[in-house]
Copies of this chain bind each other. A is one copy, B any other.
Amino acid sequence: MVPHLRTALTGALSDLEHKMLEATPMIERWLRMEWQEHTPPFYSSVDLRQAGFKLAPVSTNLFPNGFEHLAEEMYPLATQAAMAAVEKYCPDARNLLIIPEAQTNSSHDLQSLAHLANILRLTGLNVRLGSFSDSVTQPTSLSLSDGQTLVLEPIERNGRRITLDNGRFDPCTILLNNSLSSGIPKVLENIKEQIVLPPLHAGWTVRRQSTHFDAYDAVVKRFAKFLDIDPWLINAQHSQLSNLDFNLPASTEELSHTVEQLLKKIAKKYKEYGIKDKPFVMIKPDAGMSRAAIKIHSANELKTLEHSWLHTMNSNKNHHIVADVLIQEGVPTIERINEEIAEPIVYMIDRYVVGGFYRINAESMDETINPHDTHFKSLPYIKQSERTKEDLNSAYNRFYSYGVVARLAMLAASLELEQTDPNPDFN
C-alpha cells in the first residue's frame, strides 16, 4: 500500500510504471512475505532519482531528519505506523527517549525533531529528548522559529539502562535520531534491558553505503526476476574501494580504473536502451550521508581534481588518512518543479510508506557540494475531487513505483542490518 500522492512527473506512463501498477497485488504480496522473514527498520528515508528510463535509490537514511517537510495530512498515517512499530518492539512502553544529533543547531533539524517527537507522542507515549553530549549537563531549552520549545536533557546510565531526570524517566525504547558518525558513545554500549532503535550498528561507525547497495543488489535480483524486468531499471550500479591513499599512485590508478569500468558498464546499458545521455558516476564516502559527492564523467576528470577532495570523502571525522569510497552509477533526474530539479525522498515508518517530499534546487544535489537555495516541497494527497482522466498523476498512483523502489531499499537495509549485526544470537 502506497498512498496516492502527487509527484512532479507528467507525460505518458513508462513501461516500468505500467508494469508495477498492473502487478500491484503481486508486488504487495511479495513484500508482505518478505516482512514475514525480515524486520523493517523502525524508520527510514530513501533518496530516489527518477530518470524516466530508470528509477533507483541513491541513498538510504536510517536516521531520517526531514519530518518537517512531510505534508501535514501525512502525520496521522505516520502516527499509526509508529504505533504498529511500538507494539512490535515494546507493547508495554509508556516512555520513549529520542536521542537526536549532538549538534542540532539548524532550525531544520529542530523542526524535524519536533515533528518526530509529536508523531510519537500522538501514539500515546511519553516522549522526551536526551543527549549524550558533554555540553548538555542540565535540561536545556531549544527555541524553534515557530515559537515551540524543545527540552534536551542529559542522559544518565543506570546499570544496564539509560534514564533521564535522576531515573524518574525510564524509557522502554530508545530511538536514535543520531547517525553516530562520531562513533558509538560509551554510555550507549551494552544496553540490554531497553530496546535501541535502530540498533547501534546502523550508525555510521559500522554502516557502509557499499554494504547497503550490495544488499540492494541481492533484493533487486530476486524482485526483478519475480517482476520479469531488467534489474538495472531500478538499480544504480556500484563499486567500492577501500583504503585509498592519494599519496600513492596505486590508489589513483585503482580509482581511475574502477571509474572507467563502471562508466563502460553504464555506456553499454545506455546503448542497449538507446539512451543518449552522457554516462556519469558519483564518488561518495562509503561511510556517512555526507553531501561530499563528486560527479565524474570520465576517468580523466579525476586528474583535474585537487587531492584535497579526498578529505571530504572521509566523513567520520576521525582524520583517517585513507578513505573508503563508493563509486555509484549516476542517475539523471527528469523531475522538475518550476523548472528546478526535484529529487524525491520517500519516508517510511516500519514497513509503511508514510509520505515524501522533493528536494528542489536549480542544480541537482549531485552537481554541487552544499548547494544553497535548496528548498523542499511535500508530496500532497490527490483528493477525489481533483481526479481527472487527463491528469495521469490523478488517474494513476504515479507515486506507487516510488513507494515500491523505496521499500526495496528499506528491505535491503533490513538485510544489511541482519548481516552486520555483531550479536545475531541476541535477536
Task: Please report A residues at the B interface, Cβ cutoff 8 Å.
Answer: 1, 3-4, 24-29, 32-33, 35-36, 72-73, 76-77, 79-81, 83-84, 86-87, 91-95, 122-126, 352, 381, 383-384
Contact = CB atoms under 8 A, between A and B. Distances in A.
Given A72-B383, A381-B76, A83 B1 contact: yes
A87 B1 contact: no
Given A1-B80, A77-B80, A80-B1, A36 B352 contact: no
A32 B80 contact: no
Nearest to A355: B76
A1 B352 contact: no
Contacts of A83: 1, 352
Given A76-B381, A126-B25, A35 B1 contact: no
Contacts of A79: 1, 3
Contact of A94 (B26, B86, B124, B384): B26
Contacts of A28: 123-125
A204 to B, nearest CB: 31
Counting chain B CB atoms within 10 Å of each CB, the highest count among A28, A93, A125 belongs to: A28
Contact of A35 (B24, B87, B384): B87
Contact of A36 (B33, B84, B91): B91
Nearest to A91: B32
Contacts of A72: 383-384
B126 A87 contact: no
B381 A29 contact: no
